[in-house]
């Protein structure tokens, strides 16, 4: 097992982990989520979630990866036989995400290019859904959209090369370039944004605390949801990445650094986005509240309008979309590595073969989103796979480890042996009680909501086929992969 790939340096690991954590979620999800859930007051539940769930879970996943030095399914299996399934389930979830995530990056590539000529004209929204994506009704698929297909193929080529080169020469080198570059570009964007007229109003809207919301349970759930997604927890990613750490590596310190870097980037994104929104509101005589959006809408409908209003806007637009590409690519690589590692170990094949099979399969499936129905499909799959995939698998993971396998104490001792910061019983309390309770509550709340109303107003049969079935199949496929024995573990183990 000692010829296992390894990171070349601690910094390399940290940059790769940050590259995974810092993704589209930081740039387009955090600002709107914070704003809608109490603005400045949101920082309280957010910090609470970071310290009671985010960092403790990150420490747990780093410890598991470091201790068992395997892909997520095999690491879980080594904790307890019955847990292998949870690992495969997470790997399949990651696979599903890796089939639509590059679509968004492909849009960003095109928009980086569109920025210079401002191809979106006066109406960015109708350009995005009409001219660019030619969106069809939900449930219909329609023709392939070449302006998505070609950048998508290009991105897959880049991903194949990076993954094919391996952990140290591929993933580490890529992140060593992407993440510092992303930081520089992003700081330039934020400086530009805060010096625009009207920026202050945007920042006031973002930071103004609405303390009355803090009493609302859903605000706390939103904080936990943001932290989980943002830190790439329960995606099998962090276990895989930490399995490549050299034996002598600090665990808790690395987890704190990753967590704090990710949150700092989130805060920075909040400032940049709201400064830009304040500018747009002042230019168009609207209230900041009326222009706030998150997700795809923020990046591809609101930002193009902001860019159009700005002086010397081509460069700013290019930098904004380039930052989405860099943040997205490094997350994309991390999510694909989960199944590359899983396939390689389970089927005892070389890295090249597993990249070809795993990446090839994901690339083929991703083509289904490069058509006129792609936007609705992506939106639905994303919602269901996050709520009934990532969050649910996270709940199973902590419950299995803390309650059934009862291995928290073991993991705590292991982490303490190699780390500077020592974990106390607070760590077990966070993982054994606080996290399962909040995640369980979150599940229930989402489930009740989704059974009552159709998500996004989509037709029920569409949601059934591409939402529920996709999420549930991930669970079953995970179970099927568990059946096959590991190479050289065929006897008793
Ligand atoms: N942490 C990522 C983000 O904020 C979440 C993610 C990781 C999504 C990997 C996809 C792949 O965007």
pLDDT tens for 180-196 read 999 999 999 999 999 99
Pick left, alpha or beta for residue 198 (phi over 0 → left; psi -120 to 50 → alpha; otherwise beta): left
Phi and psi dihedrals of 39, rounded to 5? 55, -125
Q: How confident is the model at residue 217 (pLDDT cuts 50, 70, 90)?
A: confident
Burial of 211 (C-beta count, 10 Å sphere; 0-12/13-18/19+): exposed
- Report CA(298)–ligand 1 centroid distance (Å): 17
Average pLDDT in the 115-128 region? Answer: 93
Range with lowest mean pLDDT among 92-101, 134-143, 392-401 = 134-143
User: Which residue among 33, 270, 331, 362 is best mutated to probe the pocket of ligand 1, counting the most ligand atoms within 8 A of its Cβ?
Assistant: 331
pTM: 0.95
How far apart, in Å, are the Cα atoms of 304 and each of 73, 151, 184, 273, 324?
42, 19, 21, 13, 13
Q: How confident is the model at residue 2 (pLDDT cuts 50, 70, 90)?
A: low
Q: Is 232 in the pocket of ligand 1 (CB under 6 A)?
A: yes
Contacts of 3 (CB under 8 A, 6+ apart): none
- Report CA(210)–ligand 1 centroid distance (Å): 28
- Report CA(208)–ligand 1 centroid distance (Å): 28
Q: Is 97 in the pocket of ligand 1 (CB under 6 A)?
A: yes
Q: Is 26 in the pocket of ligand 1 (CB under 6 A)?
A: yes
Average pLDDT in the 26-30 region? Answer: 94
Q: Is 23 in the pocket of ligand 1 (CB under 6 A)?
A: yes
**Tokens 């790769």 belong to which residue?**
16
Containing 402, the helix (H) or strand (E) segment is none
Q: How confident is the model at residue 311 (pLDDT cuts 50, 70, 90)?
A: confident
User: Which residue among 19, 20, 96 is best mutated to probe the pocket of ligand 1, counting the most ligand atoms within 8 A of its Cβ?
Assistant: 20
Burial of 44 (C-beta count, 10 Å sphere; 0-12/13-18/19+): middle
Average pLDDT in the 9-26 region? Answer: 97
Cα–Cα distance between 387 and 95 in angstroms, integer?
Answer: 16
pLDDT at 313: 84
Cα–Cα distance between 450 and 441 in angstroms, integer?
Answer: 14
Containing 299, the helix (H) or strand (E) segment is none
Residues 227-284 pLDDT 10s: 989 999 999 999 999 999 999 999 999 999 999 999 999 999 999 999 999 999 999 9
| CB distance 374 to 145 below 8 Å | yes
Range with lowest mean pLDDT among 67-81, 86-100, 208-222 = 208-222
Q: Is 21 in the pocket of ligand 1 (CB under 6 A)?
A: yes
Say what the ipTM of the complex is.
0.95
Ligand 1, atom 9: nearest CA belongs to which residue?
Answer: 331
pLDDT at 491: 43
Q: Is 331 in the pocket of ligand 1 (CB under 6 A)?
A: yes
Ligand 1, atom 8: nearest CA belongs to which residue?
Answer: 331
Cα–Cα distance between 45 and 223 in angstroms, integer?
Answer: 6
Rounded to 5°, the CA angle 269-8-64 comes to: 75
Tally of CB atoms within 10 A around 59: 28
Residue 286 has pLDDT above 60, yes or no: yes
Which of ligand 1's atoms lies nearest the C-alpha of 232? 1
Q: Is 320 in the pocket of ligand 1 (CB under 6 A)?
A: no
Q: How confident is the model at residue 316 (pLDDT cuts 50, 70, 90)?
A: very high
Ligand 1, atom 10: nearest CA belongs to which residue?
Answer: 331
- Report CA(25)–ligand 1 centroid distance (Å): 6
Average pLDDT in the 193-220 region? Answer: 95
Token couple for 354: 């597993």
Q: What is the DSSP secondary structure assignment for residue 136, as one 8-state letter?
A: P
Residue 413 has pLDDT above 90, yes or no: yes
How far apart, in Å, are the Cα atoms of 148 and each of 138, 145, 214, 323?
18, 6, 42, 18
Q: What is the DSSP secondary structure assignment for residue 197, as one 8-state letter?
A: T
Burial of 406 (C-beta count, 10 Å sphere; 0-12/13-18/19+): exposed
Which of ligand 1's atoms lies nearest the C-alpha of 94? 11
Cα–Cα distance between 97 and 429 in angstroms, integer?
Answer: 31
Q: Which CATH architecture has domain 10-480?
A: Up-down Bundle (1.20)
Average pLDDT in the 342-350 region? Answer: 96
Q: What is the DSSP secondary structure assignment for residue 422, as one 8-state letter?
A: P
Contacts of 140 (CB under 8 A, 6+ apart): 372, 373
Which of ligand 1's atoms lies nearest the C-alpha of 29? 4
Q: Is 229 in the pocket of ligand 1 (CB under 6 A)?
A: yes
- Report CA(100)–ligand 1 centroid distance (Å): 12
Token couple for 259: 């967590």
Q: How confident is the model at residue 490 (pLDDT cuts 50, 70, 90)?
A: very low
User: Which residue among 16, 19, 24, 34 is best mutated to probe the pocket of ligand 1, counting the most ligand atoms within 8 A of its Cβ?
Assistant: 24
Q: What is the DSSP secondary structure assignment for residue 30, as one 8-state letter?
A: H
Cα–Cα distance between 488 and 5 in angstroms, integer?
Answer: 19
Percent of the chain with pLDDT over 90: 90
- Report CA(327)–ligand 1 centroid distance (Å): 9
Q: Which of 492, 493, 481 is nearest to 72 (CA)?
A: 481
Residue 484 has pLDDT above 60, yes or no: yes
Q: Is 38 in the pocket of ligand 1 (CB under 6 A)?
A: no
Residue 493 has pLDDT above 70, yes or no: no
pLDDT at 136: 80
Average pLDDT in the 202-218 region? Answer: 94
């Amino acid at each position: 097992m000692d010829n296992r790939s390894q990171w070349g340096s601690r910094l390399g690991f940290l940059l790769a982990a940050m590259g995974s954590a810092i993704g589209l979620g930081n740039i387009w999800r955090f600002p709107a989520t914070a704003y809608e859930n109490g603005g400045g007051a949101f920082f309280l539940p957010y910090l609470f979630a970071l310290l009671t769930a985010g960092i403790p879970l990150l420490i747990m996943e780093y410890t598991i990866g470091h201790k068992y030095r395997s892909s997520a399914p095999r690491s879980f299996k080594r904790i307890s036989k019955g847990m292998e399934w949870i690992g495969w389930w997470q790997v399949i979830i990651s696979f599903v995400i890796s089939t639509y995530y590059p679509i968004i990056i492909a849009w960003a590539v095109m928009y980086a290019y569109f920025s210079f000529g401002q191809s979106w004209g006066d109406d960015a929204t109708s350009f995005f859904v009409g001219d660019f994506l030619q969106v069809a009704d939900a449930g219909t698929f329609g023709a392939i959209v070449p302006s998505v297909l070609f950048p998508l193929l290009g991105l897959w080529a880049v991903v194949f090369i990076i993954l094919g080169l391996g952990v140290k020469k591929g993933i580490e080198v890529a992140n060593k370039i992407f993440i510092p570059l992303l930081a520089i570009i992003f700081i330039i964007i934020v400086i530009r944004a805060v010096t625009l007229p009207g920026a202050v109003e945007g920042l006031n809207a973002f930071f103004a605390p609405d303390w009355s919301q803090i009493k609302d349970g859903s605000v706390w759930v939103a904080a936990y949801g943001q932290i989980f997604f943002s830190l790439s927890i329960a995606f099998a990613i962090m276990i895989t990445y930490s399995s490549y750490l050299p034996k002598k590596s600090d665990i808790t310190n690395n987890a704190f650094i990753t967590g704090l870097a990710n949150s700092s980037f989130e805060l920075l994104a909040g400032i940049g986005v709201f400064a830009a929104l304040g500018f747009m509101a002042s230019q168009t005589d609207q209230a900041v509240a009326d222009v706030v959006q998150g997700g795809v809408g923020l990046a591809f409908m609101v930002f193009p309008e902001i860019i159009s209003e700005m002086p010397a806007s081509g460069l700013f637009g290019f930098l904004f979309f380039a930052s989405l590409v860099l943040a997205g690519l490094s997350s994309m690589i991390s999510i694909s590595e989960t199944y590359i590692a899983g396939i390689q170990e389970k089927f005892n094949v070389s890295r090249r073969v597993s990249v070809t099979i795993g990446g090839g399969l994901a690339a083929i499936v991703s083509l289904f989103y490069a058509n006129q129905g792609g936007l609705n499909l992506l939106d639905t799959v994303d919602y269901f796979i996050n709520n009934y995939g990532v969050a649910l698998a996270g709940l199973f993971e902590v419950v299995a480890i803390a309650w059934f396998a009862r291995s928290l104490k073991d993991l705590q001792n292991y982490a303490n042996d190699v780390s500077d910061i020592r974990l106390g019983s607070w760590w077990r309390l966070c993982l054994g009680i606080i996290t399962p309770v909040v995640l369980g509550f979150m599940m229930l709340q989402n489930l009740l909501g989704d059974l009552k109303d159709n998500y996004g107003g989509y037709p029920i049969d569409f949601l059934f086929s591409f939402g529920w079935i996709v999420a549930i199949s991930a669970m079953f496929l995970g179970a099927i992969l568990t059946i096959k024995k590991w190479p050289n573990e065929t006897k008793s183990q």
